[in-house]
Amino acid sequence: MPFDIPAQLLYEDNHLIILNKKPGQLVQPDPAGDEALETELKSYLKHKYHKPGEAFVGVVHRLDRPVSGVVVFAKTSKALVRLNEMLKAHTMNKTYWAIVKQRPPQDEALLSQYIVRDSRQNKSFVHDSPVKDSLAAELSYKVIASSENYFLLEVNLITGRHHQIRAQLSAMGCPIKGDLKYGYPRSNKDGSICLHARKAEFIHPVSKEKISITAPVPDSDIWKFF
C-alpha cells in the first residue's frame, strides 16, 4: 500500500501528528521489513522541517494492518509519555465503525468479557468468565445504519486488547466483513477488513485543549454507501 503522508494528514502541531491509515499499511515495521507509517513519517518530518538528524516519532497506539482510520503519533517525548498515560487511564476515547453481515442480538449493548491472546496464531479468544492469562475486555456498540445485506456498527472501545473488536464481534456471531481470521467466509478484494477507526477524542497532552479528530472512510463502494 503506497504512502502519501500529506494526503493522509488529519492534524499536526508541535507535539502531535495524526494520520488516516489506509487498509494494508503497517503502523510500525515488522520482522519482514515492510515499510511502515512510522518510518515514512520520520522521513517526511525530517525533510519538511530540514532536520539535521532523525525526526522523533512516537507510536501512541496501533491499528491492525487490514484496519483503516485514525492513528495518533507523538512528535515529542513529553507528548508521548502523557498520551501513553491517557491510554492506560482510558481517557482517550476511540470510536470505530464496523460493517457486519449478521444483525447483532441487540441493536445496542455493552460487551464485558475476557480475552486470551495466542501469540503463535496471532489471534485472540473470547471467554465469558476469567481463565488463565485472560484480560478483561469491554466495548459498547450500537447499530447506526443498515443496507439489504449489511449492518454498520459504531463501537466504543473501553479497553484496548489485542484484536479486541474483531474477536468480540465474532464471538457475538457478527464477524467483520472480510475478516477471515475471525470467521467471515470471504475476504475483501484488497485484503482489508471493514473496520475503521472513525474518531479519536482526548485532551491535548500539552495545551490541554480538547482534540476531536474524525477520519474519512476508505474509498470503496460499501463504505461510500454507509
Helix (H) or strand (E) holding 174: none
Catalytic entry in 64, 128, 219, 221? 64
Helix (H) or strand (E) holding 40: helix 37-48
Q: How far apart are CA 73 and CA 17, in angstroms?
A: 5
Q: What are the cell numbers at 176?
A: 467483520
118 is catalytic: no
End-to-end C-alpha distance for the chain, whole angstroms: 24
Q: Which residue type, as a one-letter code, is found at position 138?
A: E
Q: How far apart are CA 91 and CA 175, in angstroms?
A: 27
Q: What are the cell numbers at 162?
A: 489485542
Spell out where 119-161 has E strands: 123-127, 135-146, 151-157
Residue 101 burial class via C-beta count within 10 angstroms: exposed 0-12, middle 13-18, buried 19 and up: middle
Q: Which residue type, as a one-letter code, is found at position 78?
A: K
Q: How far is CA 10 from the centre of its chain?
A: 15
Q: How far is CA 220 from the centre of its chain?
A: 18
**Which residue(s) pair with 9 in the sheet?**
19
List residues with catalytic annotation: 64
